[in-house]
Amino acid sequence: MATSPNHTYIKFFTVLISLILGIFFIRLAFLMLSGQPQTKTYHNPEVAENVVRGTIYDRNGRILAIERPYWGVYLHLNKIEDLTQVSEIIAPFVEMSPSEIQQKASNYTTYAQIKKAIDDRQVEPLRSILQEHGLQNQVNVEKRIGRTYPAKFHASQTIGFTNVDMEGIEGIELSQEEFLNPYPEIGNRNTTYGEDVILTLDIDIQYALDVQLQQIADEFNPDYAMALVLDAQNGDILGMSSYPWYDINALGHSEEEQRRNNAVNLLYEPGSVFKLFSMASILQIGEAQTEEPFLCDGSYTFHAGSSNVTINCTSPHGEVDVETMLAKSCNGAISHWALQTDPISFYTMLEQMGFTNSYDISLPSKAKAYIANPSQWSGRTLPTIAFGQELLVSALHLCTAATALSPRGELIAPHLILSRSSPVSGEKSYQRERMVISQVLEPSVTERIREGMYRASLSGGTGIQASVEGVALGVKTGTAQLFNEETKSYEDGTILVSTLGMVPIDNPQYILYVAAGNPKGASLYGSNVAAPAVGAIVRTLISQGKLIASDTPILQGDGKN
> Would you list the DSSP string of 4-19?
PHHHHHHHHHHHHHHH
CA distance 209 to 149: 19
CA distance 208 to 189: 43
Q: Which residues contact 235 (CB under 8 A, 6 or more apart)?
A: 400, 403, 412, 413, 414, 415, 434, 435
Q: How far is residue 399 CA from its own chain's centroid?
A: 13
214 class by beta-carbon count within 10 Å (0-12 exposed, 13-18 middle, 19+ buried): middle
CA distance 181 to 194: 5
The tens digit of pLDDT for each residue in 460-505 reads: 999 999 999 999 999 999 999 887 777 777 766 689 999 999 999 9
Backbone angles phi, psi at 88, to 5 degrees: -70, -35
Q: Specify the 3-state DSSP secondary structure of 263.
A: helix
Greater pLDDT, 508 or 118 = 508
- The arithmetic mean of pLDDT across residues 44-57, rounded, is 82
Q: How far is residue 179 CA from its own chain's centroid?
A: 19
CA distance 153 to 43: 47
The tens digit of pLDDT for each residue in 399-435 reads: 999 999 999 999 999 999 999 999 999 999 999 999 9
CA distance 6 to 8: 5
pLDDT beyond 60 at 113:
yes
- Among residues 500, 493, 193, the alpha carbon closest in space to that of 329 is found at 500
The tens digit of pLDDT for each residue in 268-284 reads: 999 999 999 999 999 99
Long-range contacts at 116-123 (CB < 8 A, ≥ 24 apart): 116/70, 116/72, 117/70, 117/71, 117/72, 117/146, 118/71, 118/72, 118/73, 118/93, 118/94, 120/70, 120/71, 122/71, 122/93, 123/71
Q: How far is residue 327 CA from its own chain's centroid?
A: 31
CA-CA distances (angstroms) from residue 458 to 163, 315, 476, 537?
51, 18, 12, 18
DSSP state of 406: S
The tens digit of pLDDT for each residue in 324-338 reads: 999 999 999 999 999
CA distance 204 to 195: 24
18 class by beta-carbon count within 10 Å (0-12 exposed, 13-18 middle, 19+ buried): exposed
Whether 302 and 309 have beta carbons less than 8 Å apart is answered as yes
Backbone angles phi, psi at 277, to 5 degrees: -85, -35
CA distance 460 to 245: 36
Alpha carbon distance, N-terminus to C-terminus of the chain: 123
DSSP state of 220: H
Q: Which amino acid is at 362?
A: S
Domain ranges in the chain are 206-543
Helix 83-94 / helix 98-105 crossing angle, nearest 10 deg = 110
Angle at 278 between CA 276 and CA 282, to 5 degrees: 115
4 class by beta-carbon count within 10 Å (0-12 exposed, 13-18 middle, 19+ buried): exposed
The tens digit of pLDDT for each residue in 161-191 reads: 999 888 999 999 999 999 999 988 887 677 8
The tens digit of pLDDT for each residue in 305-359 reads: 778 899 988 899 999 999 999 999 999 999 999 999 999 999 999 999 999 999 9
Residue 248 parent element (H or E): none
Q: Give the CATH superfamily of 206-543.
A: DD-peptidase/beta-lactamase superfamily (3.40.710.10)
- Among residues 335, 345, 342, the alpha carbon closest in space to that of 389 is found at 335
The tens digit of pLDDT for each residue in 202-250 reads: 999 999 999 999 999 999 999 999 999 999 999 999 999 999 999 998 8
Whether 123 and 93 have beta carbons less than 8 Å apart is answered as no
pLDDT beyond 80 at 296:
yes
pLDDT beyond 90 at 37:
no
Q: pLDDT over 70 for what percent of the chain?
A: 89
pLDDT beyond 70 at 43:
no
CA distance 105 to 80: 11
Average pLDDT, the chain: 90
| 407 strand-pairing partners | none
Which conformational region is residue 166 in: left (phi greater than 0), alpha (psi within -120 to 50 degrees), or beta?
A: left
